[in-house]
Structure 1
Amino acid sequence: MVQKERGLITINNLSMLQNKSLSFLMISRVANTLAIQMLTVAVGWQIYSLTQSAFYLGLVGLVQFLPMIVLTLVVGHVADRYDRKLIISISQSVEALAVFLLAFGCYHGWINKESILIIIFLIGIANSFQGPPMQALLPNIVSEEIFPRAAALVASAFQFAVIIGPGLGGILYSLGPGVVYSITGSLMFLSSMLILFVSTRKEQVKTEPKSLKTLFAGISFIKSKPVILGAISLDLFAVLFGGATALLPIYASKILFIGSFGLGVLRSAPAVGALLMSAFLARNPLKKNVGRTMFMAVILFGIATVIFSLSKSFIISILALILLGASDVISVVIRSTFVQMETPDNMRGRVSSVNMLFIGTSNQLGEFESGLTASWFGTVPAVLIGGIGTIVVAFLWMRLFPDLLHIDKLEARK
């Protein structure tokens, strides 16, 4: 028998997918993620075609990161005071309009590297407002008992889109970048509509008065929880150094010689590993030694990055990226579950905004770091150094945050 309490999915559900809210959330995530992955391939290939520069590939990550670091405190405050679904919907609609502008520029022949960077910067602003409420939404849909399974299930849907999106983007790019951008904008707009059909179990707390204290509350909360600080900073530095994906256009063009479709395949490979692993975790949630498992996953991520950096074989490169994705999703599921379960609901927006800053730093700033080091040392040495750096960070964090290493179960600690 399916039981519900105020829209909350309970542990006795025969299937979490029977809940409409979770289904709408997953479909929305799939549509938006497909769009983002297609956009990433198109922008990366187009700007590299225009510039032949690793530095400009890095700039794409930097212009997405800058809005995040400037707006972090503001967007977290907004996510805790206003309707999270509406914030996500508006953010995705703005992203859609910006992508349609890219398509318009391609069709009318005025697109160049500067206009691409400016529009990606605008998309970065909109995405900054989307991230924290999206992270904070799932705990309002499912119960604490099944949150780890639900997080893995949502991750599976996300990774499915990450697999399909890059390859689809690479195929459509052969018809012209304007085609990719048009379809991408449409998917973003669809996602913005679907998210409005998600219903949550309770109203957000909105009575907390505005002040500098509430604005900085997310930072203060994380500082008071060394284990949370250790978890999100581990992701920051590990992925910051291991940002091989930013340089995939160069690997596809200059090292593996596989073209735009091959670039899409490379982009999809980490998601294949991540999908397989997240599906496994959804059916077999981690029950003990989760801290040690997370650190081992980060080390494996670094090893996979090293293998990829040195490979000149398309098959070995694909296998290394699959391993990279599988190890990464273990860390992501453990960290995201632990952070959300340790954070009270009225703080989740602000804590998530700080967490998103760490994630954005590791991803977008990591792309810039990869592009910069590649322009200094060369593509292969840059990725190799990054993979070694990730392994070093994992061992260092074991010493700095021993409580994180010894976490046994994914449950809220008293």
Structure 2
Amino acid sequence: MGRFKSKDPYASLREREFKPYVIMRFALVFAWTMQFIVIEWEVYHLTKDPLSLGIIGLMEIIPALSIALFAGHIIDKSEKRKLLMICVFAFSSLSLALVYLTSSYALESFNEQFILYGIYGCVFIGGIVRSFISPTIFALLSLIVPKKLYGNATTWSSSAWQMGSVLGPATAGLAIHQFGVSWSLAIVLFMTLVGLTMLLQISPKPIMNKETSEPIFTSLKKGILFVYRTKELFGAILLDMVAVLFGGAMALLPIYATDILDVGSIGFGVLRAAPAIGSFLTILIMAYIPITRNAGKKLLYAIFGFGLSIILFGWSEWFWLSVFALFMSGVLDGISVVIRSTILQLFTPDEMRGRVASVNSMFVGSSNELGAFESGVTAKLFGPVKAVIGGGILTLLIVLGMGAKLPRLRELHFPEEEE
């Protein structure tokens, strides 16, 4: 992965505010991924329709695509810590609403259609909140650690994200089995409050973009053009979007767990956690062996391997082979996560971090939900197995094409860390 070992793999963790930042990110990712899994399980339980899983993704992608760029403009002109506190409080409020909607009291008082639409409504509002949360967290990182530590900080931040992605889904499966849906969502609410507590330990930060006379659409145009003209950024964002959009099989896991592999809620949690475990372990190793040389080629290789792993998962009818395939998809995704995140940090100027992160969120973060919708529709039309395998094949073809068309990304190297 690299020709040298980092002098101090814990350098960024020695920064006073970075530790609460990492814990905050872990708590929020844990809460978000666990909530999404519990909602998927409950909605499929209510409807038994794969299209309903796609609608969950659609409910998040509509607001995410609609306001992502405006969110970036607001983030660049706002104090990041205060804005993030507002977003986390809104997230907590939505979690509380979902606890109520799935409680025994609500189930006895309202019909299933009302509860289903209520869940969809919470997911829709959550999409608005998430349009602000991810770019604000990205922008806040650069104000907490010095630039020379961006690579190291990105690795640990990504590790926290992946650990949350591991424990959130795994906890969701176990909690649904042991406590039921409503109490599982109560755990989500608790974790959002942990994130809010950690955020209080970070001091307010200066506003890097203080241009107040610039028209909003001029500001948005600058952000989009900057990403498009910076081919390293453009290529990394486009590759990630393609991998998640066509290569993702996560939205169909409830179907695989119940109808194909027949492993129930616990097996569902294991399947959902497998890719995150692989990704987390890889990212943790990369804190000690960072990628510098041939970073662009390694990104392309990793996403190509990710597509192969998804094809294997779609074909498998054996539970542990399916777990292995998802684990390997996570290992390869872990490599690409660190490379993509480092590209975003290194190539984005401070005054444009909100807009660039929002463009990334719009095309990459939203592709999770659009991918869920795409998976739900194709599974409805062709069946889940053909949907997953077909998506993996498309990922392979697009990666090959982009590798040929984007030489600046293909030949990208990262600077080595200072001794």
TM-score w.r.t. the length of structure 1 is 0.93
1:197 aligned onto 2:193: no
Offset, 1:208 = 4.3
Correspondence for 2:298? 293
Correspondence for 2:184? 180
Correspondence for 2:253? 248
* Distance 1:288-1:101 versus aligned 2 partners, 3 A rule: same
Q: d(CA) in 2 for partners of 1:38 and 1:350?
A: 28
Query: Matched residue of 1:407: which SS?
Result: coil
8 A Cα contact 2:99 2:186, kept in partner: yes
Correspondence for 1:41? 37
Q: d(CA) in 2 for partners of 1:301 and 1:30?
A: 24
Correspondence for 2:223? 218
Q: d(CA) in 1 for partners of 2:46 and 2:127?
A: 21
1:350 aligned onto 2:355: yes
Query: Matched residue of 1:283: which SS?
Result: coil
1:93 aligned onto 2:119: no
Offset, 1:190 = 2.3
Which of 163, 168, 171 is equivalent to 2:166?
163
Q: d(CA) in 2 for partners of 1:27 and 1:248?
A: 28
CA RMSD of aligned residues (A): 1.8
Which of 354, 370, 380 is equivalent to 1:375?
380
Offset, 1:146 = 2.3
Q: Deviations over 1:35-76 (max 9, x none)?
A: 112212211111001111111101111111111111012100
Correspondence for 1:55? 51
Query: Matched residue of 2:214: which SS?
Result: coil
Q: d(CA) in 1 for partners of 2:81 and 2:205?
A: 13
* Distance 1:397-1:13 versus aligned 2 partners, 3 A rule: closer
Correspondence for 1:229? 234
Correspondence for 2:211? 207
Output the amino acid matched with 1:362.
Answer: S
Correspondence for 1:3? none
Structure 1 residues without counterparts, runs of 5 or longer = 1-10
Correspondence for 1:330? 335
Offset, 1:340 = 1.9
Output the amino acid matched with 1:171.
Answer: L
Offset, 1:343 = 1.2
Q: d(CA) in 2 for partners of 1:93 and 1:201?
A: 19
Q: d(CA) in 1 for partners of 2:162 and 2:344?
A: 21
1:275 aligned onto 2:280: yes
Which of 304, 308, 329 is equivalent to 1:303?
308
Offset, 1:361 = 3.1
Correspondence for 1:124? 127
Name segments (4+ residues, structure 1) moved above 6 Å.
Answer: 11-14
Correspondence for 1:22? 18
8 A Cα contact 1:149 1:281, kept in partner: no
8 A Cα contact 2:232 2:343, kept in partner: no
Offset, 1:238 = 2.1
Query: Matched residue of 2:200: which SS?
Result: helix
Which of 398, 403, 416 is equivalent to 1:398?
403
TM-score w.r.t. the length of structure 2 is 0.92
Q: d(CA) in 1 for partners of 2:9 and 2:50?
A: 50
127-136 vs 188-197, which moves further: 188-197
8 A Cα contact 1:141 1:199, kept in partner: no
Q: d(CA) in 1 for partners of 2:413 and 2:16?
A: 33
Correspondence for 2:146? 143
Offset, 1:203 = 4.4
